[in-house]
Amino acid sequence: MGDTHIQQGPGPEHGLFSLAELPPPLITGLAARAVELFHDGTAHDRPLAGRAVGLLFARPSTRTRTAFTVAALRLGAAPVPYGPADLHLAGGEPAGDTGRALGSMLDVLVARTPGPLDDLRDLSRQGRLPVVNAQTPEEHPSQGVSDLATLALSFGDLTGLRVLYAGEGNGTAVALAHALATVPRARVTFATPAGYGLPEEDLRAAERRAAAVGATVGQIHDLCAAPREVDVVCTTRWRTAAARHADPAWREAFRPFHVSEGLLSRWPRASFMHDLPAQRGDEVEGRVLDGPRSLVWTQAAMKLYAAMAVLEWITGPGD
């Protein structure tokens, strides 16, 4: 009788965990591919036909979950959805054990979890399974691809682009820093409340990558020090501040970073971006979010095409 036991051990991790780990040409290539798919969503030969894509969303998601589900369908795959309590991870099963089981059945796993990111790496290693980080507290890398694609769609050549991000240095900001650090001669400024900035390690990594292409990535804690010339103003929801910090007056620290029409008037030609969901009246004024300079709804639509580009790459030949 032959050996019928599956005894595979862990393999190397594989997937999209952080944009900091991807070579710059791959990041810009994914963004360019997303733009191609935005213009023609049928510009592919259903490369995931016959494959199964697991979609684990242990935290709320509107755009990212829908984007990856529809992306899997359009590329020919069968999506397998999991909610926050559907897997035994919720009951304490080690991520590695879950990974070994899922890896014998799925072709790729897309996961949004409360963290840590190392759990997704463990799922990938133990299951020998490509894993896409669809947001952990550390980073939201597919959002970074989507944002870079939105900018490329709107501005064309991004060389020398000037970007101001106002708000919390959370996982969306981290992904944006790593994405924009690949743009030659870009000037990127993160304006964050003191104590709510980008993690030092991520900021330094983005600075080093930016320097290689003549770009700059920096951080300030007072919008009075913002650049005089800006092409794009970005923000994101203040969703993690209260959870991460015990200061009951945290909103007061954030109030100066509210993107109002008055603030945006400092840069009369600048576009506006927000990854959504938005809390009108907190991080952004409603008339800015819905105004003529807003790229927000294009940015939301681009998430589908960024998801398609990521799935196409991660399951492609040699990956």
Domain 15-139+303-314 matching CATH 3.40.50.1370: the answer reads yes
- The string of pLDDT tens digits covering residues 49-88 is 999 999 999 999 999 999 999 999 999 999 999 999 998 8
Task: State the DSSP code for 17.
Answer: S
State the helix-helix crossing angle for 296-314 and 63-74, rounded to 10 degrees.
50
Q: How far apart are CA 128 and CA 96, in angstroms?
A: 10
C-beta separation of 319 from 14 below 8 A: yes
Q: At 274, is the secondary structure helix, strand, or coil?
A: strand
Supply the pTM of this predicted model. Answer: 0.95
Q: What are 80-109's pLDDT values in tens digits?
A: 999 999 988 888 888 889 989 999 999 999
Burial of 32 (0-12, 13-18, 19+ CB in 10 A): middle
pLDDT in tens, 174-208: 999 999 999 999 999 999 999 999 999 999 999 99
Q: What is the pLDDT of residue 67?
A: 98
Q: What's the average model confidence in pLDDT over 160-182?
A: 97
Classify domain 143-300 by CATH architecture.
3-Layer(aba) Sandwich (3.40)
Domain with CATH 3.40.50.1370 in the chain: 15-139+303-314, 143-300
Helix pair 141-155, 171-180: axis angle to 10 deg: 50
At residue 1 the predicted structure's pLDDT band, cuts being 50, 70 and 90, is very low
Q: What is the DSSP letter of 194?
A: T
